[in-house]
Amino acid sequence: MPVSGNWLIVQRFLVTGVFKLVRLIFNTVQRVYWELNGTARKLREARLPQNYERSAQVLDVVFVHRFCLMMMADINQFICTHSHFENPQYIIDNDDVTLLTVNDHNAIFCEPTEKGSLLLLVTDGKCAILNSQLFPNCLCYLCVTV
């Protein structure tokens, strides 16, 4: 039986709460692991201007959860694992990489699973990618320190 009305909101809050708890535990374990294997040191070094060539962190998406499809994208809606570091020029050179969101610390870019799989919404001569398409179609995310 499909959930509707107030029960839908209650269900969304419960699922979001469980997601946030799992994400908190996952990120805590991941930070300890990154300290032990040297990834945390490489992240700190990547923020230095002289290390520009290797400053974009590529993250593989494990799981995504959004409370509402109309919400703006945020890095807190993802559970990701570190893959490798990339030159930020990769973002400019690759036509399929799209800006997902920008916050105080990072610019987050999305690379789709299939080349050319993102549809464009054209209105009044302006072109935009539907934000809701980016979530299920992303192979990985690239974080660049701003």
pLDDT tens-place string over residues 47-96: 888 888 888 888 888 888 877 766 677 778 888 888 888 888 888 888 77
Domain limits of the chain?
A: 6-145
* Confidence tier at 20 by pLDDT (50, 70, 90): very high
Indicate if the pLDDT at residue 124 is higher than 50. Answer: no
DSSP 113: S
**Which of 112, 111, 103, 27 shows the shortest CA–CA distance to 72?**
103
Residues near 3 by Cβ (< 8 Å), separated by ≥ 6? 11
Q: What is the CB neighbour count within 10 angstroms for residue 80?
A: 21
| Distance in angstroms (rounded) separating the CA atoms of residues 126 and 121 | 8
**Which of 93, 97, 109 shows the shortest CA–CA distance to 146?**
109
Supply the pLDDT for residue 27: 94
More confident residue, 133 or 137: 137
